[in-house]
């Protein structure tokens, strides 16, 4: 059957376009998976297209048909790969063999060679497809169809020349050009598919970046301000569901007072990309958030819109407020502090691994005043902190001072911290001042960066100390002089005591003796009044002698050297009571109670006098009670023993307590209770010489308690031979 050439070419072209569709909708989707079955299926589709091509040839020459199966198989070899092409090759070849005829051998040869040349070329030069080389494909097609013309040798001899004359122009011009055009179409489909994949990947990335971005984002309609899209972070941060968000507008998440500002900003904003300042947003639960906004214009589903990114700066604002508060407190402390405070900056960091002397050199070389307070300026006669800025460390903390160098050495050795050191520093007017200094260094990554200095001006204190030293020296001189005066007074007192013991007692003995002679030898010449007067003279002379004895005893208690030994308190009290009972038998009716009193270290002679006077007083002043009672106790302290002698006697009025320990001071009359009034003064002097104290508590009619303390051992004795009583 002879077909019209034009319509035959169109039919073949349409069928070849099916190859492009097959490539687009099947091969490009399945190629990457590289599964065997899909490739075989596509090969079968190509067999079908080849059969249709052969059933619709565009020319017959002497019962020999020509079609574009060579173009299809060449394209298959170049684009579809080995398995698909081989399946198409065998299927097409079998069908051609089944057709038979004079052109069978040539047809099968063309089928096999077209497919194999395409496969071989793809294998040898893969860049022909990778780089989409249309020109090279035209050359391959030309080679294929030149070989196709050569295959006419397989035709019967009678048909060879006629066939060549009929088909050569079409085979050499139309077939290669058709192959190139089909390849171009496939390349376009490949590019389209790559574009679709990239677009799909871009869409996925965008959705991922938008939906899963940890920063809240949304897209809103520029005309209605309605939310068009919102990501998960915004849903979580604001508490609304996605459906709730998409039913709202920007106004709904703004405080009412910010809505006008929002509308003005949107109306006046003509920028493609915008970063706005801090805004306030409301969450679903009513909490207020401070945010910053970054946005850019976009088109979303055909609507003019803006894509918004939200940064929550609520915590940042809170931190900034706290920092501002801390900065204010810091400034107030620095400016209002009575201490001089200064920050020394370093022009370059100092390596703290260097030796100490090198670091000291660098500190003096690079340190300067970075900031300071007015107190620092006042201490150094500088007008203001601005004037102080930039001053070198050596202008304030002179390097010539060995003490200052040693302080810096200790500062470095102690880990760049030192506290409470005295320094000498120079003021602007070259005045030397004394300070108590503290230094603290800032270290980062083994680099010494800066140091804080706080100090107090102690110049006046040092001047006062100098004045005190001068006064102490003068006082010591005066003490020496007064000691000499005291020593002279003591010697005079000793001479006076000697005079009393010898010069005054002799006349008293004479008065007493002559009075006794008058009473014994001349009583017949004396009337009753004369005898009474003689008795009064004798009594007063005896009393005068007792006063002199007590005064001498008081003097000895003040001047006698102390000889310490261990005192058995209980035995001492028992011996004293026996002595008291001998002198005053009626005292035995008193109940005396004491148990397990501790021993202590003191002068036994003087302490006997203490106990005798206190016990005698306690029994004497309890004598008018029907059941007189005296209780002796002791409390042990860390270093001291506190003894208490308690009685149930007449007591005394505490208003007169200041007279209690005075020499010859009495709180009761001689007729009520005999005595000289010197006993407690002697007791007080002895206790004080042993480093103790004595006091009393009493109430009229309810008895008296006397307390005194003494050290437990010799190391705590503090003899004071010149201590005075309240006399």
3-state secondary structure 110-152: HHHHHHHHHHHHHHHCCHHHHCCCHHHHHHHHHHHHHHHHHHH
CB 351 within 8 A of CB 446: yes
Residue 416, pLDDT score = 92
Q: At what angle do helices 134-150 and 175-211 cross, to 10 degrees?
A: 150
Q: Name the token pair of 62.
A: 């002497």
CB 361 within 8 A of CB 417: no
Instruction: In whole angstroms, give the CA distance from residue 225 to residue 221.
Output: 5
Query: What CATH number should be reported for the domain whose range is 340-452?
Result: 3.30.450
Query: Strand, helix or coil at 724?
Result: coil
Residue 610's Cα: distance from chain center in Å?
66
Query: Strand, helix or coil at 217?
Result: strand
Q: 51 — phi, psi (to 5°)?
A: -60, -45
CB 72 within 8 A of CB 16: yes
Residue 344, pLDDT score = 93
- The closest of 419, 361, 352, 421 to 393, measured between CA atoms, is 361
C-alpha to C-alpha distances, 592 to 287, 577, 588, 628, 648, nearest whole angstrom: 86, 9, 9, 9, 11
Q: Name the token pair of 398.
A: 């002179």
Tell me the average confidence (pLDDT) per consecutive run of 10 residues in the chain, 727 residues long: 45 54 51 66 77 68 66 81 86 86 84 89 87 88 88 82 78 81 76 71 72 87 91 90 92 89 78 76 90 87 88 87 82 79 92 92 92 88 90 85 86 90 76 85 91 86 84 86 76 63 65 74 75 73 63 58 83 88 82 88 85 86 82 89 90 76 56 58 83 88 89 59 37
410-446: b or e for each residue (b if 16 or more CB lie within 10 Å)?
ebbeeebebeebebebbbeeeeebbbbbbbebeeeee
> How big is the chain by its Cα radius of gyration, in Å?
64
In this structure, is the dihedral angle defined by the CA atoms of residues 298, 301, 305 and 307, taken in order, positive or negative?
negative
CATH topology of 217-317 equal to that of 340-452?
yes
Instruction: In whole angstroms, give the CA distance from residue 664 to residue 529.
Output: 31
Does this model's pTM top 0.75? no
Instruction: In whole angstroms, give the CA distance from residue 601 to residue 1.
Output: 155
Residue partners of 586: CB distance under 8 A and separation at least 6: 623
CB 677 within 8 A of CB 543: no
Q: Name the token pair of 83.
A: 């398995």
Q: How many CB atoms lie within 10 A of CB 225?
A: 16
- Looking at domain 561-711, its CATH architecture is 2-Layer Sandwich (3.30)
Instruction: In whole angstroms, give the CA distance from residue 411 to residue 417.
Output: 5
Map out the domains of the chain as residue ranges. Answer: 5-194, 217-317, 340-452, 561-711
Residue 6, pLDDT score = 45
Residue 243, pLDDT score = 92
Query: Strand, helix or coil at 448?
Result: strand
Fold exhibited by the domain 217-317: Beta-Lactamase (3.30.450)
Q: Name the token pair of 631.
A: 């209780």
CB-side neighbour CA atoms (13 Å) of 468: 6
């Amino acid at each position: 059957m002879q077909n019209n050439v034009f319509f035959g070419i169109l039919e073949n072209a349409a069928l070849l376009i099916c190859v492009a569709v097959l490539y687009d909708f099947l091969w490009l989707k399945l190629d990457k998976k590289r599964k065997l079955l899909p490739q075989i299926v596509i090969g079968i589709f190509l067999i079908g297209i080849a059969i249709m091509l052969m059933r619709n040839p565009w020319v017959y020459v002497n019962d020999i048909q020509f079609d574009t199966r060579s173009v299809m198989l060449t394209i298959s070899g170049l684009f579809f790969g080995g398995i698909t092409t081989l399946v198409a090759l065998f299927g097409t070849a079998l069908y051609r063999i089944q057709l038979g005829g004079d052109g069978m051998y040539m047809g099968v040869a063309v089928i096999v060679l077209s497919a194999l040349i395409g496969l071989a070329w793809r294998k040898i030069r893969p860049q022909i497809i990778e780089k989409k080389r249309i020109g090279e494909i035209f050359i391959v097609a030309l080679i294929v169809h030149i070989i196709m013309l050569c295959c006419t040798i397989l035709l019967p001899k009678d048909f060879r020349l006629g066939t060549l004359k009929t088909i050569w122009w079409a085979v050499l011009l139309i077939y290669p050009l058709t192959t190139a055009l089909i390849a171009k179409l496939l390349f376009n489909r490949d590019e389209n598919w790559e574009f679709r994949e990239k677009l799909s990947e871009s869409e996925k990335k965008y959705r991922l970046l938008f939906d899963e971005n940890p920063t809240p984002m949304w897209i809103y309609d520029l005309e209605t301000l309605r939310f068009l899209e919102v990501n998960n972070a915004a849903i979580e941060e604001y508490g609304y569901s996605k459906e709730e968000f998409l039913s709202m507008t920007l106004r709904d998440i703004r405080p009412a007072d910010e809505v006008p500002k929002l509308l003005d900003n949107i109306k006046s904003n003509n920028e493609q990309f915008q970063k706005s300042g801090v805004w306030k947003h409301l969450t679903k639960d009513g909490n207020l958030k401070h945010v910053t906004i970054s946005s850019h214009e976009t088109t979303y589903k055909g609507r003019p819109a803006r894509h918004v990114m939200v940064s929550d700066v609520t915590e940042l604002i809170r931190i900034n407020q706290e920092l501002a508060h801390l900065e204010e407190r810091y400034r107030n402390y620095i400016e209002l502090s009575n201490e001089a405070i200064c920050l020394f900056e370093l022009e370059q960091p100092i390596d703290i691994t260097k030796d100490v002397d090198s670091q000291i050199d660098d500190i003096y070389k690079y340190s300067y005043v970075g900031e300071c307070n007015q107190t620092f300026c006042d201490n150094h006669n500088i007008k203001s902190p601005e004037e102080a800025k930039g001053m070198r460390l050596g202008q304030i903390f002179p390097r010539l001072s060995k003490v200052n160098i040693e302080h810096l050495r200790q500062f470095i050795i102690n880990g760049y911290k030192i506290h409470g050191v005295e320094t000498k520093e120079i003021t602007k007017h070259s005045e030397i001042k004394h300070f108590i200094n503290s230094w603290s260094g800032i270290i980062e990554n083994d680099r010494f960066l800066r140091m804080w200095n706080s100090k107090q001006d102690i110049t006046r204190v040092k001047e006062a100390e100098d004045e005190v030293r001068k006064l102490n020296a003068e006082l010591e001189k005066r003490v020496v002089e007064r000691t000499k005066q005291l020593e002279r007074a003591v010697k005079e007192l000793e001479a006076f005591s000697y005079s009393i013991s010898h010069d005054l007692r002799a006349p008293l003995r004479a008065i007493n003796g002559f009075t006794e002679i008058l009473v014994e030898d001349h009583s017949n010449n004396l009337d009753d009044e004369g005898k009474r007067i003689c008795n009064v003279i004798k009594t007063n002379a005896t009393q005068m002698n007792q006063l002199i004895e007590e005064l001498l005893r008081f003097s000895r208690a003040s001047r006698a050297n102390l000889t310490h030994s261990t005192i058995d308190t209980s035995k001492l009290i028992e011996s004293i009571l026996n002595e008291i009972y001998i002198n005053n038998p009626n005292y035995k009716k008193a109940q005396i109670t004491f148990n397990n009193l501790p021993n202590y270290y003191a002068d036994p002679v003087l302490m006997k006098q203490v106990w005798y006077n206190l016990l005698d007083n306690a029994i004497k002043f309890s004598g008018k009670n029907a059941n007189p009672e005296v209780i002796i106790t002791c409390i042990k302290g860390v270093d001291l023993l506190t003894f208490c002698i308690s009685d149930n006697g007449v007591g005394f009025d505490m208003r007169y307590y200041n007279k209690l320990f005075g020499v010859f001071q009495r709180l009761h009359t001689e007729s009520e209770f005999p005595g000289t009034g010197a006993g407690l003064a002697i007791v007080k002097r002895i206790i004080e010489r042993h480093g103790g104290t004595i006091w009393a508590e009493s109430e009229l009619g309810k008895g008296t308690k006397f307390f005194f303390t003494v050290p437990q051992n010799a190391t705590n004795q503090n003899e004071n031979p010149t201590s005075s009583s309240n006399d």
